[in-house]
Amino acid sequence: MKIVEPINFIEEEINKDLQSQRFAQIQTRHPPEPSGYLHIGHVRNIVLNYGTAERYGGICNLRYDDTNPTKESQEFVDAIQNDVLWLGYKWHEIHYATEYFQQNYEIAVKLIKDGKAYVCDLSPEELSKSRGTLTEPGIESPYRNRSIEENLRLFEEMKEGKYPVGSKCLRAKIDMASPNMNMRDPVLYRIQGITHHRIGDSWKIYPSYDFSHPLDDCLEGVSHSICGPEFEDHRPLYNWVVDNSGLKNKSRQIEYNNLYLKGTILGKRNIKKLVNEGKVSGFDDPRLFTLAGLRRRGVLPESLKNFVVAAGISKVNTAVFEQAYLDYFIRETLNQKARRAMAVLDGVKLIITNYNKEDEEVVTEDFPQIEGNTQTHKHYFGKELLVERSDFMKEPAPKFHRLFVGNEVRLRGAYIIKCTGFDQDENGNVTTIYAEYDPTTKSGTEGANRKVKGTIHWINPSKAKKVTCRLYENLVMEEDSEAVEGNEANTDGVRINPNSLIELKDCYVEDIDFSFDERYQFVRNGYFALDKDSTETNLVFNRTITLKDSFKMPKTN
């Protein structure tokens, strides 16, 4: 097994284990619970587990922790696989924690026979109270010293479904005075009166995560169990289970810090709540930071992977980043891969008064395309065009160099025009802009050298496609953004930003072939992707991100 040049502390530890021959090969696992859609907070775990295995020439299995069937569904199972594949990874094998239930049970029986586990009759409330506090030791269960024979009988009867839910549990016999409360005779098995979406009601008892997780790692051949910081305090219990399991493979748990984005609602519970309350359209709503939502919005997987790598990995302190940090990587990728296209989203009619309608002509423009190539686009210049409403002001603000009466601008790829007037309705909304063009200033000719301060884009609606564009802002109000940080944040009372989704139905884009696999830069308007709501007669585009970037990557030495 090769030793790589380490890029983080996890790889440093793996190299030590390889050099000491603790492990002969590297195997990791990706163990999501199929109780919701993956979000951006899960990308780091995916990159670390699949990516680390790839770097060492090892393997990574996808193992569903399907031990909480009340929250799980096949929809979530399928969604997780789609997300992993979208990120560019492929598991070696797919497994389920329930596959190992028989082996888990047999090891639990072994612990009873070794005098290291017992059946406890304390109620959940009594058990919780008996565990003590951080400053006070726990109180031993009155059932702690049951005989091995009695424990074996009771545990078998629990398995057969002879006792009601909550009446008994199997606990490890460790140390009720341990400073680590996870080691105070933790629960290994509970009675569950539920039907599982995969295995039905064949098992009446379910192992705790703290018991099944290390066992499944060992049974599967995992060398390094890479997980978040919430499991650090559980590592002594992980090691206890591994050491007392009797299994040959001794998996090692390594924790890393969490990563959060400011002002984003994460956590499966919070996201489910938004969906169930109808505040978003579904788990793939482009305003969500689920991987399905980001994908639908048009974000490319390379952006997310580059983001988590650049964010770095450490063992301490949660890494909290502004959304602008992620936006930087989204733009960087799209700038390299998006096709350019002309589009007017909020158009107002522009009439070129000194241009004959019969003289409509084709003007061309070379747009940069993928990997530095260019592509020539045809635009149809004519008497009646559309320009962006925001490119005109009745009373120009200081340093406004676009359209206003008396000012000249260049129509991109075409001519210089001078605004001569405008019409407005009874509410003061501009309905038509009038201008004259200078026929000597066509782009690509000698006259194009005449300089003006403003250049705007335009489109001929008679030669364009009418489409719908959806523009997005942050889902929550800015004043509430701090309240939603972290997976366990309480989002009750958080207000939804009314401008988080704006749908424009009268947009026009140049008439080219659009594809769901492509991303597009609509000139001056941002990056866009086709949405699944598109039909043959109405294309729907999601704006992935605007062109403006206020974030600057810090310089590195």
**Coil, helix or strand at residue 169:** strand
Q: Do 440 and 422 reside in the same domain of the chain? A: yes
Give the DSSP H/E element, type plus range, for residue 379. Answer: strand 374-381
pLDDT score recorded for residue 557: 38
Name the residue among 285, 295, 222, 284 with its Cα closest to residue 253: 222
Give the integer Cα–Cα distance in Å for 156 and 234: 27
Query: Tell me, what CATH number does 497's domain have?
Result: 1.10.1160.10
Picking from 256, 277, 304, the residue at the C-terminal end of a domain is 256
Q: Do 215 and 271 reside in the same domain of the chain? A: no
Q: Do 275 and 378 reside in the same domain of the chain? A: no
Q: Do 147 and 212 reside in the same domain of the chain? A: yes
Q: Split the chain (557 residues) into runs of 10 and give each run's mean pLDDT.
A: 89 96 96 95 95 96 91 92 98 97 98 99 96 95 98 98 96 98 98 87 94 98 95 97 97 94 87 92 97 98 96 85 94 94 97 92 80 76 97 94 96 96 96 97 90 95 97 86 58 83 97 95 97 96 87 48
Q: Do 86 and 114 reside in the same domain of the chain? A: yes
Q: Do 422 and 505 reside in the same domain of the chain? A: no
For residue 295, give the amino acid letter. R
**Residue indicated by tokens 């409360």:** 181
Contact 548, 327 (CB under 8 A): no
Name the residue among 65, 1, 56 with its Cα closest to residue 34: 65
Query: Tell me, what CATH number does 215's domain have?
Result: 3.40.50.620
Give the integer Cα–Cα distance in Å for 107 and 246: 8
Q: Do 327 and 439 reside in the same domain of the chain? A: no
Q: Is 244 inside a domain boundary? A: yes
Contact 532, 296 (CB under 8 A): yes
Q: Is 4 inside a domain boundary? A: no
Q: Do 28 and 115 reside in the same domain of the chain? A: yes
Q: Is 2 inside a domain boundary? A: no
Picking from 423, 454, 485, the residue at the C-terminal end of a domain is 454
Instruction: Classify the C-alpha dihedral 375-381-384-388 as positive or negative.
Output: positive
Orientation of helix 74-86 relative to helix 43-55, angle to 10°: 60
Query: Tell me, what CATH number does 450's domain have?
Result: 2.40.240.10
For the chain, how many structural domains are there in total? 3
Picking from 226, 256, 286, the residue at the C-terminal end of a domain is 256
Query: Across the strands, what pairs with 172?
Result: 117
Q: Do 315 and 379 reside in the same domain of the chain? A: no
Range of the domain at 303: 264-340+467-545
Give the DSSP H/E element, type plus range, for residue 226. Answer: strand 224-227
pLDDT score recorded for residue 69: 82
Q: Do 361 and 213 reside in the same domain of the chain? A: no
Give the DSSP H/E element, type plus range, for residue 437. Answer: strand 430-438
Give the integer Cα–Cα distance in Å for 353 and 418: 10
Give the integer Cα–Cα distance in Å for 138 and 175: 9
Q: Do 247 and 394 reside in the same domain of the chain? A: no
Q: Do 410 and 484 reside in the same domain of the chain? A: no
